[in-house]
A and B are shown apart, each in its own frame.
Chain A
Amino acid sequence: MEHIAIIGNGIAGITAARHIRKQSDFRISIISAEAEHFFSRTALMYVYMGHMRWRDIEPYEAQFWQKNRLDLVQGYVEKIIPEENTLFFSDGRHMTYDRLILATGSRTKFFGWEGMELPQVTGLVTKQDLERLGRLAPDNIHCPRAVIVGGGLIGVELAEMLRTRDIAVTFLVREKGFWNNVLPEGESMMISRHIEAHGVELRHETGLGKILSDEKGNVRAVQTTEGEEIPCNLVGITTGVTPNIGFLKGNGIETDRGILVNRMLETSAPGIYAIGDCAQQREAWGNRPTVEAVWYTGRMMGEVVARTICGIPTAYQPGNWFNSAKFFDIEYQTYGWVFPDIKRRSREAHFHWRHKNDHQCVTVAYDEEDGTFLGINTFGIRMRHPVLDSWLTGGKSVDFVMEHLHEAGFDPEFTSANFQDIRRAYRSELKSTTT
């Protein structure tokens, strides 16, 4: 029986394993050094916040793995010899495989700051990061002040986590507004205000210079790029993630930032595939970056590679881009492409609507020459994925989308709908630009 080994038990690896099991009788081994069972990485924050216990963020019960003959192997793979189809573990064990899937995910990207090796400096990517946070920041007596570096999705999660324990948080953001390299300005500034309303001290256009320690070797403060010293007991590094591929050095598998794969998700070594955050497409897919560190793309690559492994060669061919997140109390969804001002394409025009409550807004991107709908960002308004997906695929016009936007609403019943206001604002803006 063919043996499929999967390194990594995150969403990519587990999705691949589930779909291989659905379609085949292969022996499947899932290897992880991080956690005994698959867990939802995006839910790490809820354990610290006390919304859920660890076992609640594991999507499958313990018996699931045995029942579906998915062998879980605990161990850290140190070396791969592709020519011999063999993996070597750090504890001396080894394992042979017929085909191998690399799904090792991401790790925190550190920028080599002075002091980053101090014990109170942490990212928020792994189970071990969560455990570290539990130790370092149990409450605001042991950890009165924290500084978070990097204004992205993980940074705002960490800020929300620490605020639930009344820890003072200073958030250093390099851009003018929160996540301004992804969000258009109106949205970015609204989220910045929301973050501040939750008691976070937001420092825009400020970066980390170095981390300062006291005589015992503990974090005492950070120094910003402006030279200011901010005292703190914890430094959260959330300046992004990078493929977790250190163990592949010298194994003969081609890498760049990530493990290089072709459309079939094959690496340069025969029989070895790479999926999820650790993979880097040799050729970019439309507007997508070549390394996509997103839950959904991990899942999608897992689905595709499973088909290839089970005898139906299938290329990774993602559909319309979508994503979602939550910034404290404000949910965010995006469908298609809406670029921030700095990255805007030549014909990309935006319509922006913001509710006077400053908690809801919508940005619609369209082609200003032919009026094609390009994408939508919504904040505080839930949208229906299948509907927007079909509009994007069907190349609908922005006028059509604005007239039918209510059909794509997904908020709970009785929610007072804003769609009428949005449509009215769109029409009046249209009028003012045509006259």
Chain B
Amino acid sequence: MSSIDRDMSLTGHPPTQITFRQKLASGLGMAGLLLLLLAWLNVDFPNKTLWLTLSLAAMASGVIWFSAEAYRHQPAGIKNNGVYFKAMTSRGFRAWILALALTGLYILLYFYPATLGLNPDGANHGLIALFDPLSRLLNGHQASQWFVYGTLYTLAILIFGIKFIWKYRHNRYEVIRTISVMFFQTAFAFLIPEIMARLNGKLPYYDLKSIWPLNYYNFERYRINAFIDAGDIGLAMLLFGILSVFVITPLLTYFYGKRWYCSWVCGCGGLAETAGDPFRHLSDKSLMAWRVERWVVHSVVVFVTLMTTAVVYSYLGNDGGKYWLTRDSFLLGVATLLTLVFAWAMIWKREQLQKDARYGAIGYFVIIISLIGFHYLSGDSNVFLFRSETLRKSYAFLIGAVFSGVIGVGFYPIFGSRVWCRFGCPMAAILGFQQRLFSRFRITTNGGQCISCGNCSTYCEMGIDVRAYAQKGENIVRSSCVGCGICSAVCPRGVLKLENGPHQGRNESREFPLGNDPDLLEQVLHSAGKTKSSQSI
């Protein structure tokens, strides 16, 4: 730690204390939380509807009141004063307490729901029972742990969304984007699936905006059966699920970049952008972290592709006479599709891929060899050497639960808000691949105006060293960018702009940023990709 960090944060005591009213607001929110805690400890509330309403209302009004006190009296503008002085936002004691509490909650949710009061064979008790009235109202059944989680998750996006809008009220991109994630979470993730389940009991729970591979279980046997059993509406939903992967997402990503999903629609992104916003600067910006990111997230893509192929393979038959899609034609189809994508990238986009081509090639060959393995080494109940169920279960445990939940959200206060999106989410990786090679989106760097201050890099939740590009006058075209727009918002000199534009010139880089007489320096234009290390000289 340099002497300044010490001076500024330890011996100095800048005013980071909260006002009296903010203390009251915190108290109110805590009281709401306390009600949930009491319910968990099996305090029997006589009128559950009333107490649940009270609890949710207290938490919501606490947070909203707190935000109003924090931002209402201040002029609109960037509100990052003291971020690195507050324990909560600089990995201090409070941050660790919060991280442990969140992590604990996830462990209970995923692995010990009974301790929260879940009773699938009879009446719920404890915390989950408190949510029964709301659950009955929406879907007609008693609450599950996922209903409790979904309710609190949606509430968090809504109330912290309001806080975020207050904080960035001068920036319409941020305001509209946040209203969008609040809407998609409430309608698509929370209300519509519950109501659909009520209207058509055969339909599987389906959050329409959750797309494979984020929704890694969408093509599992029980869901396919349920879709088919539910008749036309079910088939339409299944078709939508497939179209989402192959048509809808590539098209939208082509026009708008992956931000249309990651920071406008997605629920994981929604929580990260709202409740996770105070922790966005904690993402690791080092080159090392970038290296780890690329290995880990692409391994997850390979894993989820193999897992899904194995799961579908396992329930398909061999007899083409019974059903047109057989095991062999399915494997062949997957292999052909991947080969086409791989060949397209290698032939047309090799220049932009540069070093990343290696990662792509490794991933591609692992999958193809595995597919060949599936074909020759599978019996009736197992795929390759494993049971497909084992693959599915380990993916659900490692990636679906531990990575996205326990680490992804539990460690917001330590690693920042987008750990899952950056290192784990296979959907983000696939959209990122499209964004890098096949999209109109970029962050434009404004000529020579960059002063290398570092606000953009610091507040990039995805750990992109934005400054490394901006100070060279280069546009930012990175697969991991979710287009949250905060780099542009915090830039004090108006250097960055998120925009969609023609492909031509998107990747252009100049020998020198704008400034010197251009004739003189005969600015060397060359269309190079952005794979070169962000810290290249």
Contacts and interface: CB of A to CB of B under 8 A. Distances in A.
B514 A385 contact: yes
A56 B7 contact: no
Interface in B1-44: 2-5, 7-9, 11-16
Nearest to A384: B446
Interface in B496-537: 497-499, 512-518, 520-521, 535, 537
Contacts of A415: 171-173
B251 interface: no
A138 B11 contact: yes
Contact of A412 (B5, B488, B514): B488
A432 interface: no
A197 B75 contact: yes
Contacts of A257: none
A303 B514 contact: no
Contacts of B444: 410
A300 B446 contact: no
B15 A139 contact: yes
Q: How large is the interface on A (under 10, 10 to 19, 20 to 34, 35 or more residues)?
A: 35 or more
B248 interface: no
A47 interface: yes
Interface stretch (A103-111, A223-231, A241-249, A322-330): A322-330
B520 A414 contact: no
Given A48-B8, A300-B516, A383-B494, A42 B453 contact: yes
B49 interface: no
A299 B513 contact: yes
A357 to B, nearest CB: 10
A175 interface: no
A203 B451 CA distance: 30
A54 B9 CA distance: 11
Contacts of A325: 493
A412 B82 contact: no
Max chain B C-beta neighbours (<10 A), residue from A59, A295, A316 = A59
A22 B80 contact: no
B370 interface: no
B446 A385 contact: yes
B448 interface: yes
Contacts of B11: 134-135, 138
B5 A54 contact: yes
B454 A139 contact: no
A413 interface: yes
A126 B12 CA distance: 19
Given A134-B7, A319-B518, A412-B488, A57 B454 contact: yes
Interface string B91-133: 0000000000000000000000000000000000000000000
Contacts of B170: 329
Given A50-B14, A61-B535, A412-B498, A385 B447 contact: yes
A120 to B, nearest CB: 15
Given A303-B512, A303-B521, A50 B458 contact: no
A55 B515 CA distance: 27
B455 interface: yes
Contacts of B498: 412-413
B454 A386 contact: no
Contact of B453 (A43, A316, A328): A43
Given A43-B451, A318-B515, A53 B5 contact: yes
A290 B516 CA distance: 16
Contacts of A164: 14, 81-82
Nearest to B177: A414
A318 B75 CA distance: 38
B4 A130 contact: yes
A197 B176 CA distance: 28
A315 B9 CA distance: 46
Interface string A286-322: 0000000001110110011001000000111111001
Given A56-B454, A56-B458, A319-B514, A47 B8 contact: yes
A166 interface: yes
Given A61-B535, A139-B14, A42 B516 contact: no
B449 A385 contact: yes
Contacts of B515: 296-297, 299-300, 303, 318-319, 322
B172 A322 contact: no
Nearest to B76: A329
Given A166-B15, A329-B77, A413-B498, A52 B84 contact: yes
A418 interface: no
B83 interface: yes
Q: When A and B form their complex, which 10 residue pairs have the shortest distance between CB atoms, in order from nearest?
A: A385-B447, A329-B77, A138-B12, A382-B494, A134-B7, A43-B453, A50-B82, A326-B492, A414-B172, A412-B173
Interface of B: 2-5, 7-9, 11-16, 75-78, 80-86, 170-174, 176, 286-287, 444, 446-449, 451-455, 457-458, 467-468, 471, 485, 488-489, 492-494, 497-499, 512-518, 520-521, 535, 537
19 contacts: A40-B451, A40-B453, A46-B454, A50-B80, A51-B81, A51-B455, A52-B84, A52-B454, A52-B455, A57-B453, A58-B454, A60-B535, A61-B286, A138-B12, A140-B15, A300-B448, A318-B516, A383-B494, A413-B497
